[in-house]
Amino acid sequence: MRLFFIEWCGKNFGLTDAVKELRSRGNEVVYWSGYDLDAHVDKKDFSETIFHDYFDARAGRPSPQVDDSSFPPPSEALINKMFATETLLLVMMEKAYEWMGVNQKKHLYFQYLRYWDGIIKKYKPDALIGPNAPHTVYDLVLFDLAKLYGIKTIIFEQTSINDRSIVMNDFRFGCEALRSQLSKDHGVTYSVNDFEPDIKRYWDKQMNPDIKPTPLIVKQTLARYSPGKILKIKVKAVANSFRDGHFIERLSHRLLRVGKSTMPKEYAKCVSQVDFSKKYVYAPLHYQPECTTSPLGGIFVDQLLMIETLSHTFPEGWLLYVKEHPFQWKPRGSSYFSFRYEGFYKAIARLPNVRLVPVETDTFKLLEHATAVASVGGTAPWEGALRGKPGIVFGYPWYRGCDGIFVVRSAAQCSEALDKIKNGFTVDRQTMINFLGSFQKAVLNCFRDSYNQKLSSLTIQQNIQNIVQLISREITV
């Protein structure tokens, strides 16, 4: 099989050795892109492979090993077929290219289309493999082009359950192995005693009322953006802006924001105190920009659209409590930007049945008293379902096949879900046990970053073998 590894970095986690093992089984490693590849790969070991630096790929620059002069600009027909990708991409580009105007972004997108369409046609891959849902701009174009041409795509997604990973061919469709296992197990009753040790530990922790199981990644991120570490992060960001050739543009854009009003000030003017005696749905906002909303939120990367949809369909007397993510104001500072523009919080607070609540409000108390939990696709609806609260999700989270979760894409679907909840729909413990019983059969333990390595009991060699097993299974289907 002719394989492309896209955004595949992680020598310390065994990802490079996993590629070597796959090659030893007769596969060709044709193309390899990623961040700081010189630190992750000894390129002498892959003399036949085309390498492409992340910053070059994101900026629309070709690999130095590729002559792309013969690649034609994209046709109207191709652009029309990729409209859905363009819609997602123009929002995704805000993470790296917020300073660009829309026409400049569109032209860069056309450059991506030209290059990656040419690469696919020239090098004819059998499969593309990525460690996450494509979210670094150029990779979304490549994976969607592959889907258009019927080329196998293999995407890992880390769940919030320890180091358990699902594998997908399309993030919009989800994990076929999990979907199949849930269908196969329809009518089967599992017990907690059927859980594998890591799932049992996870379950016990979630069910313990004396524990507030804040995800490790939240704790790590809050620590990462502590005052003493912010300067180091800013220096790295400046260095990266030099690497991608856009330091001046980024600096100018930042300077324009200096001295303006801030997100926390606007938020503080809009908050209301929580009345836990009210009938309410809890909707914590996602940190943005991030993969969980772009691309995994689809059109609901616009979280205001999600909130307006909920508000429009709420039963009389119900409230929607919305809370900002605990570190939304840390990484980029407190100035407005494209995902939290001036007036964003005011627009939420103006909705008659919606209340912004103080950021310091205890999440688990909000979950405990909620009638339901809504999100584009964060962990809150899943955590709510574990506690008997129905979940409403608008995006493509890994847990959306659970019977305690309503997946909605429109006001009509949202209204239908809320009617069922109003009429007494609840999530019982057995529903969640059954889901986890099927889940553990459909997924494997593996890690591709330091966060999930800390949650794993696997050795590096075991991790390599599990990753190779997953990929080998997918490319032979």
For position 9, what pLDDT does the model report? 93
Write the CA distances from 221 to 2, 195, 236, 295, integer angstroms: 37, 30, 16, 21
For position 247, what pLDDT does the model report? 66
Length of the chain measured in residues: 477
Mean pLDDT of 33-54: 95
What the block records as the tokens of 360 is 């310091």
Report phi then psi at 437, rounded to 5: -65, -40
In the predicted structure, residue 412 carries a pLDDT above the cut 70: yes
Task: Say which residue, 338 or 222, is predicted with more confidence.
Answer: 338
For position 327, what pLDDT does the model report? 86
In the predicted structure, residue 216 carries a pLDDT above the cut 60: no
Segment 434-473, tens digit of pLDDT: 999 999 999 999 999 888 898 899 999 999 999 999 999 9
Mean pLDDT of 179-193: 97
Is cis: bond before 134, omega within 30 of 0? Answer: no
Mean pLDDT of 414-433: 97
What sections of 149-290 are H helices per DSSP? 176-184, 197-207, 216-224, 227-243, 247-257, 263-270
Rounded-to-integer distance, Cα 282 and Cα 366, Å: 7
The β-bridge relationship of strands 164-168 and 50-53 is: unpaired
For position 238, what pLDDT does the model report? 61
Long-range CB contacts (< 8 A, 24+ apart) of 92-98? 92/135, 92/137, 92/140, 92/289, 92/294, 92/295, 93/137, 94/289, 94/338, 94/339, 95/137, 95/289, 95/294, 96/58, 96/137, 96/244, 97/246, 98/253, 98/337, 98/338
**Percent share of the chain, pLDDT over 70:** 90
Question: Which amino acid does the sequence have at 298?
Answer: G
Of 248, 301, 11, 14, which Cα lies nearest the Cα of 140?
A: 301
In the predicted structure, residue 250 carries a pLDDT above the cut 70: no
Q: Across all residues in the chain, what is the average pLDDT?
A: 92
Report phi then psi at 281, rounded to 5: -110, 135
CATH number of the domain located at residue range(s) 261-438 in this protein: 3.40.50.2000
Give the number of other CB atoms < 10 A from CB of residue 347: 14
For position 229, what pLDDT does the model report? 61
The answer to whether 3 touches 28, Cβ cutoff 8 Å, is yes
Residue 302, CA atoms < 13 Å, CB-side half-sphere: 11
For the chain, the structural domain boundaries read 2-175+444-475, 214-258, 261-438
Answer yes or no: same fold for 2-175+444-475 and 261-438. yes
Mean pLDDT of 389-410: 97
Least confident range of 112-121, 168-177, 216-225: 216-225
The answer to whether 361 touches 375, Cβ cutoff 8 Å, is no
For position 209, what pLDDT does the model report? 84
Report DSSP state, residue 340.
B
Rounded-to-integer distance, Cα 256 and Cα 400, Å: 41
**Percent share of the chain, pLDDT over 90:** 83
Domain 2-175+444-475 class in CATH:
alpha beta
For position 334, what pLDDT does the model report? 86
Rounded-to-integer distance, Cα 130 and Cα 5, Å: 6
Segment 59-95, tens digit of pLDDT: 999 999 999 999 999 999 999 999 999 999 999 999 8
